Structure 1
Amino acid sequence: MGNILIVVSDTQLLGDLSDCCREEGFTPHGLTDGSFVLPWVGERDALAVILDTSAGGVNGAVLSREILSSSNASVFVLTKNDSETDQLKADGLGVKAYFSKPLKPAVVFSQIKSLLS
């Protein structure tokens, strides 16, 4: 169905999300450091980027904006913040969806698949 880049610093969560990504028919690619995202997206055709705002290396809002302006990939944000203000900021950036941690990877990918259809 397409390449999905998953950017999270937690390797357990990265593995769980990657497994669910495969189960939904996508090809997962993982990074634990946000500073490598733009070069990766620039070299590959990504259908979507799932970005944990706590992934090291960069500011999540800035990175989301740069991904959206430099590629056709949809951006999905994972965060431990669940405030209305943070959700509105994410909406203002143009991200496709905002998921609060703790999260259920299977539910996240079910929703992502639906949003990408």
Structure 2
Amino acid sequence: MKKILIIEDDTSIAELQKDYLEVAGFGVSVYANGLEGLRAFRENEVDLLILDVMLPGMDGLEILRSLKEDKAIPVLLVSAKKEEIDKIKGLSLGADDYITKPFSPGELVARVKAHLENYERLKHRFSSSTKKTNSLTIRGLKIDIDSRRVFVLNQEVNLAQKEFGLLLYLAQNPNRVFGREELFERVWGLDALGDSATVTVHIARIREKIESDPSNPQYVETVWGAGYRFRV
């Protein structure tokens, strides 16, 4: 049974989420306080985190920042805020999806299932890649597939789960141009859900971490009007 952790201070919303997810076959734990939820996340096996933005004790964005050193699992951010900047901020901090309240419980379950299924596909793909090679090294950039770690000139940089998945997918398909929608479908596995603009946010975050000059990228290039490619 996959285990879902919900950190949500609105009891009615949390119970609705819990009921629908349990009917779908998931084990669900709920915490209303950010600090308590973060502690539970670190002390228990969790397969996916559903995280509200506005929380007592520690808000959702602070929790996202603190998760950078923790296990890489899908994180769905939930918020009543509809402004684009809030979505970009959440995705930039490592969230895999952003759901705006009010939302359909059925849509939430569908997104949870899609993220978990895609996460399993990615893990299988990465483990299959290690049969031939467990790392990629390109011009000072090393991607260690086994440990899911990235190094630039021997200095480790921390990538969120989807940032790592996106970089690895591009690096494993060098010099090929991918459109945003195709990358979103291949890496997120959600061709019917979400927003492909998420790819743009993650590309920007990757460049900030691996490029010496993000405005003049040497690894992940923009092909105007077409998409992105990893240049070798």
Does TM-score exceed 0.5, indicating one fold? yes
What is aligned with 2:16? 16
What is aligned with 1:30? 30
Q: Greater CA radius of gyration, 1 or 2?
A: 2
Q: RMSD value over aligned CA atoms?
A: 1.3
User: Would you say the 8 A contact 1:3–1:45 is kept in 2?
Assistant: yes
1:1-117 map, 5 Å: 1-117=1-117
Q: Please give the per-residue CA displacement for 1:9-50, whole angstroms capped at 9, x wherever unaligned.
A: 111111100011112221000001111122111211101111
Stretches of 4+ aligned residues off by more than 3 angstroms: none
Q: Identity percentage over the alignment?
A: 26
User: Would you say the 8 A contact 1:68–1:75 is kept in 2?
Assistant: no
| Count of residues paired in the alignment | 117
User: Would you say the 8 A contact 1:47–1:72 is kept in 2?
Assistant: no
Quote the Cα distance in structure 2 between the aligned partners of 1:68 and 1:41: 13
Which secondary structure does the structure 2 equivalent of 1:90 belong to? Answer: helix
Quote the Cα distance in structure 2 between the aligned partners of 1:82 and 1:10: 18
Which secondary structure does the structure 1 equivalent of 2:82 belong to? Answer: coil
Higher helix share: 1
User: Would you say the 8 A contact 2:8–2:52 is kept in 1?
Assistant: yes
Which secondary structure does the structure 2 equivalent of 1:46 belong to? Answer: coil
Shift of 1:68: 4.2
Q: Please give the per-residue CA displacement for 1:57-94, whole angstroms capped at 9, x wherever unaligned.
A: 11221201223421233211110111111111111112
User: Would you say the 8 A contact 2:74–2:115 is kept in 1?
Assistant: no
Q: Which has the higher contact order (CA 8 A, sep 6+)?
A: 1
Quote the Cα distance in structure 2 between the aligned partners of 1:72 and 1:3: 14
Q: Scaled by the length of structure 2, what TM-score is found?
A: 0.48
Which secondary structure does the structure 2 equivalent of 1:103 belong to? Answer: coil
Amino acid at match of 1:105: P
Quote the Cα distance in structure 2 between the aligned partners of 1:110 and 1:4: 14
Q: Point out where structure 1 has 5 or more consecutive residues left out of the alignment.
A: none
Amino acid at match of 2:113: K
Amino acid at match of 1:79: S
